[in-house]
């Protein structure tokens, strides 16, 4: 008998107008759960968000971990399910090869590769400002963030609450960063595409699923 992770139900078939709610699957890097602690706060009665339990930091392995979770959870993009793999480009040029491999694998499996360069903290920084400054390391970017959040450290559990009032500002600034780099001919999903974060795509994806699940609630028979 196959076992399923708690919180998941098989696809509903033959149940009249009852529809299974779409859900979100996410894999974030390794033991550092900065992204997980932040993104899990977006879950509510209309949005199920589940995280891969792997500890990998290799982009290709992370995609493969997420593929495994997709197979366990009846993932179906046709029903609106979304899968996001969050990786940091860092400042290591050799990582471009791994990112490219992960990108190809992800596209073949309906996974959206979400790259932050140099690291996910650029998304947090976008809540406060738009910048095109080139950071020489992840630590340098984090130091810049600490000018706005003096006691910031990785794995904090209250970042969502601190940043939520500035969410719209963050989305706007992240898109401005992205557009700036595209207009200057920098290739996406590379170490040089920096500073930039595609984390806004996850937030918008969660919001879209929340909306469609609210509509699905109205279709479920009493």
pLDDT in tens, 52-89: 988 889 999 999 999 999 999 999 999 999 999 999 99
Q: What is the pLDDT of residue 218?
A: 65
Q: Which residues of the chain have pLDDT under 70?
A: 1-18, 216-222
| Cβ-based neighbours of 116, under 8 Å, separated by 6 or more | 86, 87, 88, 89, 122, 123, 196, 197, 198, 199
CA angle (144, 120, 100) in 5-degree steps: 130
- Amino acid 10: pLDDT: 52
Helices (H), 135-195: 138-146, 159-163, 167-183
Structure confidence by residue, pLDDT tens digits, 158-179: 999 999 999 999 999 999 999 9
Tell if the pTM clears 0.85, that is, is over it: yes
């Amino acid at each position: 008998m196959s076992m399923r992770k708690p919180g998941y139900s098989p696809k509903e078939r033959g149940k009249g107008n009852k529809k299974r709610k779409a859900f979100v699957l996410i894999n974030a890097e390794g033991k550092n759960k900065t992204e997980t602690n932040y993104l899990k706060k977006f879950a509510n009665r209309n949005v199920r968000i589940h995280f891969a339990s792997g500890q990998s930091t290799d982009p290709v392995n992370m995609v493969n971990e997420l593929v495994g979770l997709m197979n366990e959870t009846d993932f179906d993009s046709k029903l609106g399910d979304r899968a996001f793999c969050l990786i940091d480009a860092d400042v290591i040029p050799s990582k471009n090869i791994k990112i490219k491999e992960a990108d190809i694998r992800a596209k073949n499996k309906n996974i959206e590769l979400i790259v932050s360069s140099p690291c996910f903290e650029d998304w947090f920084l976008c809540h406060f400002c738009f910048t095109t400054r080139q950071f020489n390391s992840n630590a340098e970017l984090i130091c810049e963030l600490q000018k706005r959040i003096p006691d910031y450290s990785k794995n904090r559990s209250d970042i969502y609450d601190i940043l939520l009032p500035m969410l719209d500002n963050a989305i706007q600034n992240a898109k401005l960063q992205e557009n700036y780099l595209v207009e200057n001919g920098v290739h996406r999903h590379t170490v040089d595409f920096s500073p930039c974060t595609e984390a806004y795509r996850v937030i918008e994806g969660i919001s879209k699923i929340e909306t469609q699940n609210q509509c699905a609630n109205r279709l479920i028979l009493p």
